């Protein structure tokens, strides 16, 4: 059964929740194999949602003592239920559901064994031979169709069943992108998923407001081929004090055929790369150990790390750091951010995308040590905690009463605070260390030039 929850969602930037409970292992396995593992679900609910609205789907499996919280996007809402597409890519979904699947399969095996024993002891031994997995019919029926099946009960199918099938070509494809707006320099980005109609980009979304017309310059990960197509920002994926990703609807116009060929080709290439890659939970080894291990074992490679709604990408070649990026933050500062993540998922591929080759930034070993130093310095910093999403009121009228002139970092903080930047965005934009920037913020607050709001 599924019921809405009234309490606020735990997923950052999400206002409403859906609740999906699987009391029995058989029901969970049927749903997992039909839909969950493919990235979607149809959740019965009386709530009405807007298309593309972000929601939290709380999945409970009492038989495995498991509770999961998944971010999702509503792709269709109708009386009686909502069809959602999960934000996590398929490998992460499989990893998150792994323990529940194992427990469900064990319970199914036990049930089948018990049923077989009971049948063998029955008067008619021929009936025992006909005993089968109660999910067999459903599984055989699911082999042919591609895309997603509805999760509603039999006879109560998703009224918009085609929704998931239409979206099935959206795949977690990694492509380097340069995003060009009407003004300003191009922003470096990377697709999290890509289809013929749109893309989810890892990029500083604060610089790309919803409704902004943009131009995407996509780089083929193998050949370096460039494809430029127009688009429009249609949604922000919000974190704590930052917008780490944006959804862009692609409007190819006369370039539709070229776009379709490009997307099909890079999706094939990305699928091949995923099959030979290594992925898993971040907390088992940690980002530092993972990067050191892969750098020692491979001549070149790209490590992608996701934590919540944020994504970091590190590329290296021949012992040199090629690039490190978390949103608008790059280099060693980005490495320190990634090293600070304790939970999430990683994927390693033994190649460097053509679009990531922006020049080597120094020996890998030295970059790792410097990033660890920055992280340790930030962890040891004393002073009041500053929420990443905090903003400030600026009191310029008090500048004449301060005891000393403002330092360069303090002036930068004051300007960004006046523009409405959050603490997290101030940390991202100013190229100084986080410790230096936080120190400047604290000084400005103590001197009455900034007031948290």
Higher pLDDT, 86 or 381: 86
Residues 224 and 110 in one domain: no
Does the pLDDT at position 223 exceed 50? Answer: yes
Q: Looking at residues 194-223, what average pLDDT do you find? A: 89
Contact 327, 428 (CB under 8 A): yes
- Single out the residue of 204, 221, 224 nearest to residue 212, CA to CA: 204
**Structural domain range at position 41:** 16-166
User: Does residue 222 lie within any of the structural domains?
Assistant: yes
Q: How confident is the model at residue 149 (pLDDT cuts 50, 70, 90)?
A: very low
Q: Please say which residue of 166, 196, 228 terminates a domain.
A: 166
| Predicted pLDDT of residue 136 | 33
pLDDT at 83: 87
Do residue 127 and residue 198 come from a single domain?
Answer: no
Quick one: pLDDT at residue 374?
Answer: 92
Burial of 427 (0-12, 13-18, 19+ CB in 10 A): buried
- On whether both 39 and 149 belong to a single domain, the answer is yes
For the record, the structure tokens of 299 come out as: 């001549």
> Is residue 333 within 8 Å of 310, Cβ to Cβ?
no
- Give the tokens for residue 268: 């094939």
Q: What is the CATH number of the domain that holds 43?
A: 2.40.10.220
Question: Full-prediction pTM beyond 0.85?
Answer: no
Residue 416 CA: distances (Å) to CA of 162, 379, 383, 430 = 46, 24, 21, 9
**Strand runs (DSSP E) across 79-212, as ranges?**
80-86, 176-180, 187-194, 198-202
- What is the rounded CA–CA span in Å between residue 132 and residue 111? 11
Q: Could you tell me if 268 and 408 lie in one domain?
A: no
Please list, in sequence order, all residues whose beta carbon lies within 8 angstroms of the beta carbon of residue 184, skipping any fewer than 6 positions away. Answer: 207
For residue 120, give Cα distances in angstroms to 6, 106, 110, 284, 338: 50, 21, 15, 45, 57
Q: Is the pLDDT of residue 144 over 70?
A: no
Domain boundary among 333, 354, 380: 380
Give the separation between CA 318 and CA 373, rounded to whole angstroms.
Answer: 23
SS3 of residue 439 by DSSP: helix
- pLDDT greater at residue 91 or residue 20: 20
Question: Confidence band (pLDDT; 50, 70, 90) for 368?
Answer: very high
Q: Residue 11 falls within a domain, yes or no?
A: no
Q: In angstroms, rounded to a whole number, what is the distance separating the alpha carbons of residues 19 and 55? A: 11
* 81, two tokens: 């239920």
Count of structural domains within the chain: 4
Q: 10-58: per-residue pLDDT in tens?
A: 555 566 889 999 988 988 998 888 888 888 888 888 888 888 788 899 9
């Amino acid at each position: 059964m599924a019921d809405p929850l009234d309490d606020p969602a735990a997923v950052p930037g999400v206002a409403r929740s859906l609740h999906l409970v699987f009391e029995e292992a058989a029901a969970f396995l049927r749903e997992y194999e039909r839909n969950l593992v493919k990235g979607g679900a149809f959740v019965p609910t009386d709530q009405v949602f807007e298309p593309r609205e972000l929601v939290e789907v709380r999945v409970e499996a009492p038989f495995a003592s498991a509770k999961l919280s998944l971010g999702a996007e509503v792709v269709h809402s109708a009386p009686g239920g909502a069809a959602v597409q999960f934000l996590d890519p398929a490998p992460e979904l499989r990893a998150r559901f792994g323990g529940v699947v194992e427990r469900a399969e064990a319970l199914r095996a036990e049930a089948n064994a018990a049923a077989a024993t009971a049948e063998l002891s029955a008067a008619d031994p021929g009936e025992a031979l006909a005993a089968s997995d109660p999910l067999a019919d459903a599984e055989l029926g699911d082999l042919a169709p591609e895309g997603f099946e509805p999760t509603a009960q039999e006879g109560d199918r998703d009224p918009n069943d085609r929704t998931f099938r239409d979206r099935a070509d959206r795949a977690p494809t990694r492509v380097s992108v340069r995003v060009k707006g009407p003004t300003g320099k191009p922003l470096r980005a990377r697709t999290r998923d890509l289809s013929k109609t749109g893309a989810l980009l890892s990029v500083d979304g604060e610089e790309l407001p919803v409704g902004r017309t943009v131009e995407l310059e996509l780089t083929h990960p193998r050949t370096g081929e460039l494809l430029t197509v127009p688009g429009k920002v249609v949604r922000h994926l919000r974190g704590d004090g930052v917008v780490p990703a944006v959804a862009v609807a692609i409007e190819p116009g006369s370039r539709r055929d070229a776009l379709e060929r490009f997307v099909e080709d890079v999706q094939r290439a990305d699928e091949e790369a995923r099959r030979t890659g290594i992925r898993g939970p971040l907390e088992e080894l940690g980002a530092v150990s993972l990067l050191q291990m892969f750098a020692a074992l491979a001549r070149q490679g790209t490590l992608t790390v996701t934590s919540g709604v944020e994504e970091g990408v590190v590329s290296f070649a021949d012992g040199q750091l090629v690039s490190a990026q978390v949103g608008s933050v790059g280099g060693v500062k980005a490495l320190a951010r990634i090293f600070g993540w304790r939970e999430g998922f990683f994927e390693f591929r033994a190649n460097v995308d053509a679009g990531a080759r922006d020049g080597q930034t120094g020996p890998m070993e030295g970059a790792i040590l410097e990033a660890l130093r920055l992280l340790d310095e930030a962890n040891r910093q004393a002073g009041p905690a500053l929420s990443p999403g905090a903003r400030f009121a600026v009191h310029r009228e008090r500048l004449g009463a301060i005891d000393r002139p403002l330092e360069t970092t303090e002036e930068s903080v004051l300007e960004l605070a006046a523009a409405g930047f959050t603490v997290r965005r101030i940390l991202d934009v100013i190229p100084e260390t986080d410790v230096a920037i936080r120190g400047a913020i604290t000084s400005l607050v103590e001197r009455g030039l900034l007031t948290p709001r």
